[in-house]
Amino acid sequence: MLIVGGGIAGLCSALYLQQSGWQVTIIDKNDMNDNCSYGNAGMIVPSHFIPMAAPGMLAKGIRWMLDKKSPFYIKPSFNLFLFKWGLNFLRHSTAKHVSTTAPFIKDLNVLGGEEYSRLKNEFNLEFPLEHKGILMLYKTKKTEDEQIALAQMAHDFGLNCTVLDHAGIQELEPGLKMSVTGGVHYLSDGHIDPAAFMKSLIQSVEQAGATIIRNAAVDKIEIKDSKISKVFVGSKEYSADKFIFATGAELTGTLKHAKVNIPVMPGKGYSFMTHEFGNKLQHPALLLDDKVSITPMGGSVRIGGTMELAGINDKINMNKVTGIAESVNHYYADVKIETPSPKDVWYGFRPCSPDGLPYLGRLKSLDNAVIAGGGGMMGVSCGPAFGKIVSELINESQLSMDINCFDPERFN
């Protein structure tokens, strides 16, 4: 078994496959110490059942583009791939797309949450796992109306959530002065420390006998008789019976070597840690009007945000980081966050599909290959679900849920 990609999807796939008796080799282009699975908000989000491609997102994106500190940015360029991705995004930003896909996105996130508990309690992985829920905080009447409607959908889906006014939110955060109209408390949600989880996951798969080949980028894929026979890293070749591709934001480039079209746009996000809350913050939160996440983590707080579509690059847009920092005070009136130094800013690339759905399933064109990725902002939430379902696909056992709408070849 060869897994290309050592992020959360690839490693969880390895762990579940090892449990069913497979010998696993993992290839990753980096050293696996700091990919997109490490520095994010660490949120487990059954509440996130609306795909990113949804009505109104185009108008919001255009408005945000005019603000240098806004949570969204597209780098202007004559990029045919970005143009096609954008057209597909626009085509899927419909109410029908949302209503059709929301139940399956919810199921995937619920499964991910259930499997996190299993990984901790049955697989004995060591990482902080909290079930305090997540607060969706808002300041405007428009966002309030949207969130109340979403909360009703969540109830219809069987999720546990409560709509709260300002007083209700303040009661949940007694040590902080809340400057909000209200919020929704999604008790179905949770959070982890993603870096601690990833370190424990790597240790577990290595102890179980996995071979991990680091700093090795696949640059050629050999196909024979409608199957992948080998992948190449420079002059080295690796063969296997089954191949799993879980290369995150680089899925498009990886699968081009097999002539498979899986469009993924890297969506850069930033985060940094702060001690300014002074251990007073009780609940993770999403600051909805500013698209910023707040997560208590390891005695401090991680603040994150921004969706920057500018390709894979190592530049830090400090205007966006400043916007993230300034947003906090809009919701927590007695907390003022200074813009961190660039050296203290983490960034990673979310793998974003044009319809807001992950890619999960077998390739019809290559019958020994499985794809797991494209989770966008839900990658950590869905990671264990990806691993469990990949194992079920490889072992040809009954699937834990319907994954038809996540067909990896739907854009071919």
Contact (CB, 8 A) for 305 and 291: yes
Q: Which residues contact 259 (CB under 8 A, 6 or more apart)?
A: 223
- pLDDT for 187 equals 98
Q: Give one DSSP letter per residue of 137-180, joined into a string.
A: EE-SHHHHHHHHHHHHHHHHTT--EEEEEHHHHHHH-TTS-B--
- pLDDT for 73 equals 73
- pLDDT for 65 equals 61
Whole-number percent of the chain with pLDDT over 70: 96
Contact (CB, 8 A) for 258 and 228: yes
- The pLDDT of 215-244, averaged and rounded, is 96
- The pLDDT of 142-159, averaged and rounded, is 97
* Confidence category of residue 14, pLDDT binned at 50, 70, 90: very high
> Does 56 have pLDDT greater than 80?
no
What distance in Å separates the CA atoms of residue 200 and residue 205, rounded to the nearest whole number?
A: 9
